[in-house]
Amino acid sequence: MGFEQAWLSYEPREVSPEWYGIHGIYADCGGRITEHAAAELKAAIAGITGKEPVLYADLPETEREACGEMAGCILFEKEQGLKEGGYHLFERKGALIIGASDDRGFLYGAFEVIRQLQLGNSYQGIEIRKEPVMPLRMLNHWDNMDGSIERGYSGNSFFFDKDEILVNERTVTYARLLASVGINGTVINNVNVKDAATWLITDKYFDKLRQMSEIFGDYGIKLFLSLNYAAPIELGELDSADPLSEEVRKWWEKRMKLVFERIPNLGGFLIKADSEGRPGPFTYGRTHADGANMLARAAEPYGGLIIWRCFVYNCRQDWRDYKTDRARSGYDNFIGLDGTFHDNVILQIKNGPMDFQVREPVHPLFGALKATNQMLEVQIAQEYTGQQRHVCYLIPMFKEVLGFRTYAAETDDTVEDIVAGKTFKQTKCGMAAVANTGNDENWTGHDLAAANLYGFGRLAFEPSATAKELAEEWIERTFGKDQEVLEVLLFILMNSWRAYEMYNAPLGIGWMVNPNYHYGPNVDGYEYDRWGTYHRADYQGIGVDRSRQGTGYAGLYREPNASMYDSPTSCPDELLLFFHHMPYTHKLQSGKTVIQHIYDTHFEGVELVDEMVERFESLEGKLPEKSCRRMLERFLHQKEHSREWRDQINTYFYRKSGIPDEKGRKIY
Ligand code: GCV
């Protein structure tokens, strides 16, 4: 099985009988995207059924019947009334119809047909009507131009090498994979824009970027670039990047004109400003709105979007300072600017207030910002969740985030409603994921990590799909239909986030990792450092007081969330230490004490991993050999490494608290 194609492998498999009778595809009603959709459909049918249908790409709708029998054909037909990207699949007298009102609708409709085909479903009597729920469904790559990837765990970049841009077969497969799950935008370079990447908006790279963007365009995907806010200075042309300076404004106007002319399929820019050492408007005493709006005005004539990140905090904190709270910083920096951003600016907000920990509360800006376009940023690169060596299927976490009620309105107030544009009637909004791909043969290092890439795209398109459904689909499309494989891999995926959380930092406190590279346990790794990420454990208790008496962070939520988080009796167990400093002897809602919870979850988390590995081993011979070997190697590492987590965390808290495990298990 060719893993370069991930879930788009079109090798023969058993499918419902009528697929073998497909003899024609009629697809004359769209542009280049539709042509690519039809070609993809043809390749999928030919590969899977062994029978190649004829593709009638230039035949007007009116002349189709003249070709004879329409039963057994797939017809692309214009259908009014569907949202951009929406499609309608149905059967008419033995023919399968893909109705859509635009090119992207045909593209996603064709990929829906391929999904049905790979899953082996019949199309008789089929009736599927879908429209993308989130307008923007994006990937953010943190690829550097030297070929490395910041927080990359699956090889090197396939976009860049030695400061050059790569455009090749993999670019096409990448675009097909993204389109197949409905992703419509991608940022190819790291948000930390330095050195050569600053020059991406210059003549040096335009030709290659245009080529790449055209390939993406064929699959309905817009290319985006991360921008260096200080580009006018770093490109050696000005000595200021002050957003209110006339000279700077003019510089950007000229630059945007050039860039959009040379790369017509450019969607816009992503900007990390005044964060972790990156330049921004603060240098000039200006606000984020000043900075974003200046760029937005310059990009507006070309329909360009400015996606501005809210990951802004003081990374030079004094660990002795109990007042400054990093969790508050995104909110404090942006809430006063609500309603002041230009219409083509979107604020991109991480799912939690800290940084992609295994458990965090939802970012309090969701529901607080009412008059600003906003996007949710999640991370499928598993920076803090096992770095694609541990299995951690993150879709259940994303579902919880999307389902969180903000109380910003009486109804339609969940994070999903907000980023789908429902709550505040916005059209420039959606969801982005920090990507988990690299040039490894299987794209994602751990074969099972591809479920996160797949699930993310599908979820952004159709958030009502359950995590389990998406996992099932991905397993069957990738490994074929085998009940045992399905059951085991489903068990592993669906338990993986829970298991990882169990043997990781307890009760929402986060951060007990080795500094810098963020892998492996180190309880005090960040405790006496400048990053604002503390657990405040002493011999009596642990946790950060973010209640009214503490940093006041809990009060940033709307009621009743604020009160729920503010009191340790109503705060959900899994976030208790994020919001409160508690004695080890405090009884959780579960009835266990904090310390016993720590011990139990760490022992049980490891047991769960053992069970996952044991069940995986039972699949030997049922999975493609190379892929099975790769996974097994990672599972064996996870088994060992989860023990390291268990023992370091349990030992640390046993030594700190002096309280023994009720069950008398081995703690060092
Ligand atoms: C791209 C965290 C990561 C950084 C990342 C940053 C961000 O701090 O560790 O690698 O930088 O988040 O999201 O900008």
Q: Are 85 and 104 in contact (CB under 8 A)?
A: yes
pLDDT at position 315 over 80: yes
272 lines ligand 1 (CB under 6 A): yes
Grouping H, G, I as helix, E, B as strand and the rest as coil, residue 596 is helix
**For residues 93 and 98, what is the distance between their CA atoms, to the nearest angstrom?**
14
191 lines ligand 1 (CB under 6 A): yes
> Hey, which residues does 140 pair with through a beta bridge?
187, 434
CA 487 distance to own-chain centroid? 25
326 lines ligand 1 (CB under 6 A): no
pLDDT at position 134 over 80: yes
91 lines ligand 1 (CB under 6 A): no
pLDDT at position 1 over 60: no
Atom of ligand 1 nearest to the CA of 192: 1
pLDDT digits (tens, 9 = 90+) for 211-267: 999 999 999 999 999 999 999 999 999 999 999 999 999 999 999 999 999 999 999
Q: How far is CA 100 from CA 75, 108, 126, 265, in A?
A: 11, 9, 16, 22
Helix (H) or strand (E) holding 353: none
Res 59: pLDDT:
72
Grouping H, G, I as helix, E, B as strand and the rest as coil, residue 22 is coil
Res 520: pLDDT:
97
Q: What are phi and psi of 464, to 5 degrees?
A: -80, -15
**For residues 7 and 26, what is the distance between their CA atoms, to the nearest angstrom?**
25
Kindly report the average pLDDT of the chain as a whole number.
Answer: 97
Q: Are 496 and 391 in contact (CB under 8 A)?
A: yes
pLDDT at position 206 over 60: yes
> Hey, which residues does 441 pair with through a beta bridge?
none
Q: Are 117 and 98 in contact (CB under 8 A)?
A: no
187 lines ligand 1 (CB under 6 A): no
pLDDT at position 2 over 70: no
pLDDT at position 390 over 90: yes
pLDDT classification of 452: cutoffs 50, 70, 90: very high
Q: Are 421 and 370 in contact (CB under 8 A)?
A: no
Helix boundaries (H) for 504-569:
561-566
278 lines ligand 1 (CB under 6 A): no
Res 628: pLDDT:
96
The DSSP code sequence of 35-84 is HHHHHHHHHHHHHHHS-PPEEE-S--GGGGGGGS--TTEEEEEE-TTPPT
pLDDT digits (tens, 9 = 90+) for 77-110: 999 999 999 999 999 999 999 999 999 999 999 9
- Choose which residue among 314, 355, 514 to substitute to test ligand 1 binding: the one with the highest number of ligand atoms within 8 A of its C-beta: 355
pLDDT at position 57 over 90: no
* pTM over 0.85, yes/no: yes
- Residues forming the active site: 276, 355, 383
Res 124: pLDDT:
94
Q: Which amino acid is at 44?
A: A
Helix (H) or strand (E) holding 90: strand 87-92
pLDDT digits (tens, 9 = 90+) for 605-622: 999 999 999 999 999 999
pLDDT classification of 62: cutoffs 50, 70, 90: confident
150 lines ligand 1 (CB under 6 A): yes
Q: Give the per-residue SS3 of 230-248.
A: CHHHHCCCCCCCCCCCHHH
**Tokens 């376009």 sit at which residue?**
373
Which of 55-64, 141-150, 181-190, 456-465 is the least confident region?
A: 55-64
Ligand 1 centroid, distance to 348 Cα (angstroms): 14
Task: Count CB atoms within 10 A of the CB of residue 286.
Answer: 18
**For residues 584 and 276, what is the distance between their CA atoms, to the nearest angstrom?**
34
Strands (E), 406-488: 430-434
Nearest of 597, 410, 616, 430 to residue 505 by alpha carbon: 597
**For residues 148 and 161, what is the distance between their CA atoms, to the nearest angstrom?**
8
pLDDT classification of 449: cutoffs 50, 70, 90: very high
**Tokens 């923007």 sit at which residue?**
136
355 lines ligand 1 (CB under 6 A): yes
> What is the dihedral sign for C-alpha 170, 171, 172, 174?
positive
- Choose which residue among 149, 151, 227, 312 to substitute to test ligand 1 binding: the one with the highest number of ligand atoms within 8 A of its C-beta: 151
Give me 644's structure tokens: 């390291």
Give me 625's structure tokens: 């050999």
- Nearest residue (by CA) to ligand 1, atom 2, is 355
Q: ∠ at Cα 197 (193, 201), nearest 5°?
A: 110
Nearest of 74, 78, 145 to residue 110 by alpha carbon: 74
- pLDDT mean over 289-308: 98
**For residues 322 and 534, what is the distance between their CA atoms, to the nearest angstrom?**
10
Ligand 1 centroid, distance to 185 Cα (angstroms): 20
Residues 6 or more apart whose Cβ sits within 8 Å of residue 232? 238, 240, 241, 248, 251, 252
Straight-line distance from the first to the last Cα atom of the chain, in angstroms, rounded to the nearest whole number: 46
- Nearest residue (by CA) to ligand 1, atom 12, is 355
Task: Count CB atoms within 10 A of the CB of residue 148.
Answer: 15
Q: What share of the chain is helix, strand, coil (3-state, %, to 5)?
A: 40, 15, 45
pLDDT digits (tens, 9 = 90+) for 332-378: 999 999 999 999 999 999 999 999 999 999 999 999 999 999 999 99
Ligand 1 centroid, distance to 390 Cα (angstroms): 20
Q: Which long-range contacts (CB under 8 A, 24 or more apart) does 280-283 make?
A: 280/229, 281/229, 281/241, 281/242, 281/243, 283/241, 283/242
In percent, how much of the chain has pLDDT > 90? 97
- pLDDT mean over 37-58: 95
66 or 7: whose pLDDT is higher?
Answer: 7
pLDDT at position 653 over 60: yes
In percent, how much of the chain has pLDDT > 70? 99
Residues 6 or more apart whose Cβ sits within 8 Å of residue 151? 142, 379, 381, 383, 434, 518
263 lines ligand 1 (CB under 6 A): no
pLDDT at position 436 over 70: yes
Res 30: pLDDT:
81
Atom of ligand 1 nearest to the CA of 190: 1
Ligand 1 centroid, distance to 190 Cα (angstroms): 9
pLDDT at position 462 over 90: yes
311 lines ligand 1 (CB under 6 A): yes
CA 514 distance to own-chain centroid? 24
- Nearest residue (by CA) to ligand 1, atom 11, is 192
Ligand 1 centroid, distance to 255 Cα (angstroms): 27
pLDDT classification of 69: cutoffs 50, 70, 90: confident
Grouping H, G, I as helix, E, B as strand and the rest as coil, residue 532 is coil
**Tokens 């390291």 sit at which residue?**
644
pLDDT classification of 67: cutoffs 50, 70, 90: low
**For residues 399 and 462, what is the distance between their CA atoms, to the nearest angstrom?**
11
Atom of ligand 1 nearest to the CA of 350: 13
Ligand 1 centroid, distance to 381 Cα (angstroms): 11
Ligand 1 centroid, distance to 397 Cα (angstroms): 20
**For residues 41 and 52, what is the distance between their CA atoms, to the nearest angstrom?**
10
Ligand 1 centroid, distance to 142 Cα (angstroms): 9
**For residues 431 and 132, what is the distance between their CA atoms, to the nearest angstrom?**
12
Give me 606's structure tokens: 């490891």
